[in-house]
Amino acid sequence: MTDPQVGILMLVVFLFAIGFGFPIAFTLMAIGVGFGYYAMGSHIFELFVQRTFSVMANDVLISVPLFLFMGYIVERANILDRLFLSIELAAKNLPGSLAVATLLTCALFATATGIVGAVVTLMSLLALPAMLRAGYDPKLAAGVVCAGGCLGILIPPSVLLILYGATAGVSVVKLYAGAFLPGLMLAGLYMAYVIGRAVINPSLAPKPPKEILDVPLSKVIWALTTSFLPLALLIVTVLGAILFGLATPTEAAAVGAAGAVVLAICYRSFSIAKLTESVFLTARSAAMVCWLFVGSATFSAVFAYLNGHEVVRALIDYLDLSGTQFMILAQFIIFLLGWPLEWTEIIVIFVPIFMPLLQHYGVDPLFFGILVALNLQTSFLTPPVAMAAFYCKGVAPKSLSIDEIFKGIYPFVFIVLLSMVLLYVFPEIALWLPDQLYGNGGEVENALPSEGSTTLFESDAPEDEGEVAAPED
């Protein structure tokens, strides 16, 4: 077998292994070291040590455990029930007010946590029973909770964007600025869909009971002031410091983590037991991310050494794609990968395969990253993995079947696809804010692919670009 064929065999073995449920990070490391030993002998062990050190020394990744800790502390501060009640009171006159309040709560809570499982689980315990008691259609209620809980993948401070920035070499600050408006757009489309369904068929989302409608304005203002305002102030402080260049993402994450502890103390929800649990969960999640990066770095280095990318190059060359066709194909592949895989594997393993092609087609990596983050909403919503559906089912009433949850989710998947089309047609949605804040955060005219490029890698780049040499003795 030629080296490129061995590289493709690596990829096939990896997909086969994860199909049997082996841990992703350690599967990547084992396959990388195994095939690396075949390709470069004992030098693979030196390469493995180098890759491990480079990942652990990456300054960008320091913000991951800090944002995770902030999220876990906020989650355990019992803020969500107060927040949901205050937004429910504020939105009481809207059609489908409970569902709208759920989506607003999810969007705000996503900016504080970014942890999809936590948001979906908590909202399934809090908002889902409330909607079912109010007579909401079970499918609509489940879809709202699952789709709203996944907004943390896109809305800053998204951990996905941090990992994409570290993988693609794109500024995390610019990614946060670019994701802000698309995140609001997606949340707004969700709410417009819910309100439209409630207007067309009021039986799907009945009006709130009289005791909610008759709540005086003063009580609504007090509820918002004591629950919505403190969390919003913390989020604005963290994101504002990042977007306006007052602090790096790591520094802002540290401030956010400290602010979350202060907020928990103010709500009298802080305890040593909750702190210990938050630290443990943070360490576990951060370790998973770091070892996933180590495995991916080792796997990718060996894959490049074997010239596995040459097969991808030859395939794209053979298809003779235009720029638009390339973008559609790339997003379609990522959409399909979201069925069996979670977003972490897609970001650190498969996105780097597309990175060498972006420059050829004139695609802004920042724009591509926002489009990928929007696309990967579906990785939590589409079977067979569909973790959001299983999080919801795990705590939902037994009368709510998994089939009903999936039926409720499908319309929101189509809304995600619609938002991707809107973002592609109007790239200013993602690029306007970075351009305004940072000047050259990504010009609109360079965001989309060039239609004139149809043959890959006809550039002045050396033929061995991207290959990884074996470490010298």
Tens of pLDDT along 336-349?
887 777 777 788 77
Q: What is the pLDDT of residue 361?
A: 80
164 in Cβ contact with 347 (< 8 Å): yes
Q: What is the pLDDT of residue 174?
A: 92
Cβ atoms < 10 Å from Cβ of 288: 14
260 in Cβ contact with 77 (< 8 Å): yes
Q: What is the pLDDT of residue 124?
A: 86
Burial 193-209, CB ≥16 within 10 A → b, else e:
bbbebbeeeeebbbbbe
443 in Cβ contact with 304 (< 8 Å): no
Which residues, in sequence order, are CB contacts of 241 under 8 Å at separation 6+?
247, 251, 252, 255
Cβ atoms < 10 Å from Cβ of 165: 23
Q: What is the pLDDT of residue 463?
A: 40
Cα-based torsion angle of the residue sequence 327, 330, 335, 338 in order, rounded to the nearest 10 degrees: -150
Q: What is the pLDDT of residue 366?
A: 92
State phi, psi for 92 to the nearest 5 degrees.
Answer: -60, -25
User: Amino acid identity, residue 113?
Assistant: T
- d(CA 269, CA 74) in angstroms, rounded, equals 10
User: Amino acid identity, residue 175?
Assistant: L
Q: What is the pLDDT of residue 473?
A: 40
Q: What is the pLDDT of residue 168?
A: 83
What does the domain layout of the chain look like in residue ranges?
Answer: 3-446
285 in Cβ contact with 67 (< 8 Å): no
Q: What is the pLDDT of residue 139?
A: 93
CA Rg value for the chain: 23
Spell out, as residue ranges, where the chain has pLDDT lower than 50: 441-446, 450-473
Instruction: Write the burial class of residue 421 (CB in 10 Å: 0-12 exposed, 13-18 middle, 19+ buried).
Output: exposed
